Each structure stands twice: as C-alpha cells, then as structure tokens.
Amino acid sequence: MAVFPSFGADAEEHELRAYGVTTRVVIQGQGPDVIFIPGGDATADSYSQQFALLSDSFRCIAYDPRGVGHMTAPPPPWTMSDYAADCAAVIDAFCDGQAVVCGLSLGGLVTQQTAIDFPQKVSLAIPMGTAAYIDGFTRDWMQAEIDLRKEGIRLPDYFLAPHYAVYAFPAKALHDSELWEQVKTSYTERFQNRDPKDTISQWEACLEFDCREALKTCPVPMHVISFSEDVQTAPSMCKVVADLAPKGVFHEIPGLGHVSMVRHRPEIVAAKLREILDTAVTMC
C-alpha cells in the first residue's frame, strides 16, 4: 500500500526551479487555481483524494515542501517566510498572478504566511488545522518530538503507526478495523525512513512561527477550517486565526481529526472546501 493514495492518470507532474529551490509540482483539473500545501512530513500526494474530488471544477496544484519528497533547498534552518516564498514561486510559475492557497497543519501556517507576505498573489486563504502561534500541549508535544530526535533516539517501526495515528484520526476512525489496517501500513512506511533532521527542521519552523500581530492587518479573505476531534490543533487554536484576521471566517467540521482528509473522510473535507470555494472565488 502506498503512503498516500495515488493521483489520477490525468495529473501532470512538473519540476520547478526557483531561487535555489527545486521541487515537484502536481497539477490536475481545470478552473480557478487552488494551491494545496502539505502538512509536516507529507508530500504533495497527501492531497490526491482532494484532487480527485475537486479537479472537476478547480485547477488543483500541490508541491513537495522543504524537508520532504523531491524538494531540494538551501540547508536549514528554514523560516515560515522561506516556505511562503516557495509557495509564491509556485504561483508565479503556474498561475496567472494569483491563486487560492489552502494548506493543512504546517501547510496551514504556510498559507497564513503567504497571505501576509504576498497578499497580492493570494485571492483567498484557507488554512486548515492551523494556529497563529503554537502553545500549550501541542508545543510541548512537538518540542518533545524534536528533542527525542536530537538525542539520537529513533522510534522502532512497530511503534510508528500506533504513535502517530492517535494525533491524526479520531477515536472512532482508529477503531474501524478496515481503516486501521490501511493506516497502520501507510504510516509505518511513511515514517520508517524519515530523516530525523528533516522532521526537526520542519517542526522547528512551526514552533518559531508567530503571526498574531501580522494577521491583524492581513487584507486577504481567510476561511479557517478546524476539526472537532483534532488533537494537534484544537478548534480553539484555529479560531484565534479567524478572529485575528480582518476578513476571517471560522468553520468547524464535526467528527473529524487532524488528518481525516486522507483515507478517513476525504469527501467531507472536499465538500467543505467546495462550499467555500464556490462562494468565495465568485466574490473575489
């Protein structure tokens, strides 16, 4: 089983080289441009099911961010502004000057930073499972994961899925035996050969991120999507983003976890995205 479901046969792959960075870009569909930014430790493929559900109406674009997949970049440390500049380069190369930008988790932070740094390039921002600043439990957990790797400790393969899945899916999903078998296989493969340095670099960029002040003057419309069963970025963290942004709108999807858009309930996430896009893109 693949780490993520495969893209459709009509998806196109491109290589983008810009400002010392090289990455793989995947494009599928026709219509308004929507750029999807993956979360931590995830490649563009994490959006394959969203592409399948949305590419009938939208030109869906995703790419491998710094620290995963086919991306090569200057050595870390990386800042969220570095990640935002990479997204802006994708917009410049593949879109007509402007695009909707949507991202989950780390990708949600990048979405906000891109809207802040390049508002003229972002017609609409849709950060999902996000935060304006990471604190509390989530900060302690992420710092613990970073420190563990810095001490040279590697989780054994048999522990990878039981460890990471509880941060990704709600309890009801984890106790669906058919889904669990899929998650167990894919999460083991996803994390077993992960370079600890890449995880450290991505996660440290997240912990250094704080856009609370900058959000207050961000002119880009921002629809923030949260998930009621999200352990990593609770709805209360997402609501702060929507409340700070002058044109912020808050959404909470019941029954879903941080990564429910992959394998668990991709159709529910896609339906919410379509609802937002159908309304907001028309108004832009």
The CATH number given to whatever domain includes residue 204 is 3.40.50.1820
pLDDT level of residue 3 (50, 70, 90 thresholds): confident
- CA 156, CA 143: separation in Å to the nearest integer? 19
Is the model's pLDDT at 283 over the cut of 70?
no
- The mean pLDDT value of the chain amounts to 96
Is the model's pLDDT at 14 over the cut of 80?
yes
Average pLDDT over residues 3-12: 94
DSSP 8-state secondary structure symbol assigned to residue 58: S
Query: Residues 31-80: pLDDT tens digits?
Result: 999 999 999 999 999 999 999 999 999 999 999 999 999 899 999 999 99
Largest CA distance in the chain: 51
The parent domain of residue 172 ranges over 12-283
Note the Cα 7 to chain centre separation in Å: 17
> Is 269 domain-assigned?
yes
Query: Residues 146-202: pLDDT tens digits?
Result: 999 999 999 999 999 999 999 999 999 999 999 999 999 999 999 998 999 999 999
> Is 236 domain-assigned?
yes
> Is 180 domain-assigned?
yes
Judge contact between 143 and 118, C-beta under 8 A: no
> Is 250 domain-assigned?
yes
Is the model's pLDDT at 204 over the cut of 90?
yes
E strand or H helix that includes residue 114: helix 106-117
> Is 1 domain-assigned?
no
- CA 105, CA 98: separation in Å to the nearest integer? 22
Q: What is the pLDDT of residue 279?
A: 87
Is the model's pLDDT at 248 over the cut of 90?
yes
pLDDT > 70 fraction of the chain, expressed in percent and rounded:
98
In 69-225, alpha helices (H)? 80-94, 106-117, 136-150, 157-164, 171-174, 177-192, 196-208, 212-215
Q: What is the pLDDT of residue 2?
A: 76
> Is 3 domain-assigned?
no
* Identity of the amino acid at 123: S
> Is 173 domain-assigned?
yes
DSSP 8-state secondary structure symbol assigned to residue 30: S
Q: What is the pLDDT of residue 282?
A: 57
Q: What is the pLDDT of residue 84?
A: 98
Average pLDDT over residues 18-41: 97
CB neighbours of 111 closer than 8 A, spacing ≥ 6?
Answer: 37, 87, 101, 102, 103, 125, 126, 127, 130
In the chain, how many domains are there? 1
**Pick from 90, 171, 163, 170: nearest CA to 129:** 170
E strand or H helix that includes residue 27: strand 21-28
pLDDT level of residue 1 (50, 70, 90 thresholds): low
Is the model's pLDDT at 280 over the cut of 80?
no
Helix (H/G/I), strand (E/B), else coil: 13:
strand
> Is 95 domain-assigned?
yes
